[in-house]
Chain A
Amino acid sequence: MTTLLQIKELQVSYGAIIALRGISFEVHLGQVVSLIGANGAGKSTTINTLSGLIKPRSGQVNFEDQDITGWRADRVTRRGLVQVPEGRQVIAPLTVRENLEMGAYLRRDKAEIEQDIQAVFDRFPRLKERHHQKAGSLSGGEQQMLALGRALVARPKLVMLDEPSMGLAPLLVNEVFAIIRSIKEEGKTILLVEQNARKALEIADYAYVLERGQIRHHGPADELRQNEAIIKAYLG
């Protein structure tokens, strides 16, 4: 199995607050790896650091055996590590279509971009109907679809999803996970950050449990689902 992403002893602090106390983990090619933890555990901090939005205090991030620690966010994205940020950050003043085009910002192959955009529209017919509408006027669920679609158009090597189910009604949560599953089945590598541990463990191959900036448990998702401590803390 090839290791796509490797994190070694990552430490991050916000001024005096230490958010990550040296965490290490790996994501293999074609895997869905889930990072679960309570509010404030440091999940968003982790993927923001991987994305280059935050500079780590120490530690190392390797992507395809290249050290990308401390790279600027746009370079990281160019490298193929694409984040779908927390809270559906679609670009409100742009139309749905323009949002998708922004997703393909780094690509130059016009014809194939168009294909990919059509593929997103096929996957999310609701977006297709609203392709001319301003993204800000979409419903929460539609915005999340758009955010996912936008990331796919970038043709990432690794997609990092930050709480894709946040603030969605249960029915929509199921829909979002179904989409993630279908993305997984296409062979994409995914790093999934979730508070909804039950759902995340259903879909993941491997999972890490983060608590106050440290990795408490990790293992194949099936095993963690049987783990007493985890059932008590996260699945109870």
Chain B
Amino acid sequence: MDINVPQQLVNALWLGGLYSLFALGYALIFSVLGLLNLSHSAVFACGAFVGLYTACGDEVFTTTCTELDRPIWIVIPAAMIGAGIVSVAVDRVAFWPLRKRNAPRMNQLISSIGAAALLVNLLQIQFGAAQQRFPFGSIPNDPVSGLPVVITPIQITALVIALGLMFALRILVKRTRLGREMRTVAFNERVASLLGVNVDRTYMTAFFIAGALAGAAGMMYGLAFNSMTPFMGESVSLKGLTVIVLGGLGSIEGAVIGGFLIAAIEVFSVALGRSDIRDAFVFLLLFVILVVRPRGLLGQGVEDRA
């Protein structure tokens, strides 16, 4: 079979950037709370719609976006801030009361599902279930000329922003006071508070960062495919999960590598003409990794967390 390998690699690269970015938020929340936040994909969608609304204005409530009120670049910071706030709100409403009571993590999982359903449905009420898009021509998506492969400016932007944010997050967690603070809270809230850490604020920060990452990913996903629906998170939700398992739950580098890997598997299985079973590959991989090496590719010691 004839595959244009460089082209597929480029495709895997920018898509992988988005997957990694999305998965990083998952991983961050998992590492701080030991919690699978299934509402993360809903926050992803919220980010895209906040961006859309910021650029297009009230129009999007009733019809689709026909012209931009504001420059297109504003959508990404808007999406990040908006999704960050939504994410903090999810924490306050769905997790905080349970955390206060030391509720089992399973309950937190379910409440994250409740929050996801609520968010997706609110998006649907507000923006309708139909596909929303930016006006044609408003997104720079003519392939860059003079390159041996096909890639659009928006894809390049997505990749650059994704890599930049990943790098920033790594620095933040490994090198700064905030990072130490988050790792301490993740290890033991009580000890953290005895050291003077305002635990609630730490959680809020973590959720804001995770939400902002999801928002950025959602917005760039929406831009790259120029399509947004309230359900857009569903397509990445399980993938994000696979990514963080593959990389090692809670590991930042792992999430990044896992994201690129999953994107590569996906892109190449489509190129090989087996798009029908590409997801089977992904989940088989997930399954095998868990059975053979549950800590993932880069994870360290498996702790009992649910």
Listed stretches A77-85, A117-125, A192-200; interface member: A77-85
Contact with B along A5-20 (1 / 0, CB 8 A): 0000000000000000
Contacting residues, chain B, for A78 (C-beta < 8 A): 196
Question: With A91-B183, A98-B180, A101-B180 as given contacts, are A77 and B196 in contact (CB-CB < 8 Å)?
Answer: yes
Interface centre among A53, A94, A102 (most CB of B within 10 A): A102
A163 to B195 alpha-carbon distance, docked (Å): 18
Is A106 in the interface zone, CB < 8 Å from B? yes
* Interface residue? B184 (CB, 8 A): yes
For chains A and B in complex, what number of residue pairs have CB atoms within 8 angstroms? 60
A144 within 8 Å of B (CB atoms): no
A74 in contact (CB, < 8 A): yes
A126 is an interface residue with CB less than 8 A from chain B: no
Question: Of residues 164 to 212 in B, which have CB atoms within 8 Å of A's CB atoms?
Answer: 177, 180-181, 183-184, 186-188, 190-191, 193-199
Residue A72 is within 8 A (CB to CB) of chain B in the complex: yes
Instruction: Tell me whether A93 is interfacial, beta carbon within 8 Å.
Output: yes
Question: Do the beta carbons of A74 and B180 come within 8 Å of each other?
Answer: no
Complex: how many Å from CA A106 to CA B186? 18
Instruction: Name which residue of chain B comes closest to A53, CB basis.
Output: B190
With contact pairs A94-B180, A94-B183, A98-B180 given, residues A105 and B188 touching in the complex (Cβ less than 8 Å): no
Does chain B have a CB within 8 A of A89?
yes
Contact assessment for A102 and B199 in the assembled complex, using a CB-CB cutoff below 8 Å: no
Contact B196 A154 (CB under 8 A): yes
Q: Which of A52, A85, A92 contacts B187 (CB 8 A)?
A: A92
The listed residue (A82, A93, A94, A101) touching B194 by CB distance below 8 A is: A82
Chain A window 44-69, contacts with chain B (Cβ cutoff 8 Å), 1 for yes, 0 for no: 00000001110000000000000000
Q: A74-B193, A91-B191 are in contact. List 4 more A-B contacts (CB 8 A).
A: A53-B193, A73-B193, A94-B184, A154-B196
Pull 30 A–B residue pairs with CB atoms less than 8 Å apart, ordered by A. Answer: A52-B193, A53-B190, A53-B193, A72-B193, A72-B198, A73-B190, A73-B193, A74-B193, A74-B195, A74-B196, A74-B198, A77-B193, A78-B196, A85-B190, A89-B190, A91-B187, A91-B188, A91-B191, A92-B187, A93-B186, A94-B180, A101-B180, A102-B181, A102-B195, A105-B177, A105-B195, A105-B196, A150-B195, A154-B195, A154-B196
Q: Which residues of A contact B (CB under 8 A)?
A: 51-53, 72-74, 77-78, 82-83, 85, 89, 91-94, 98, 101-103, 105-106, 150, 154
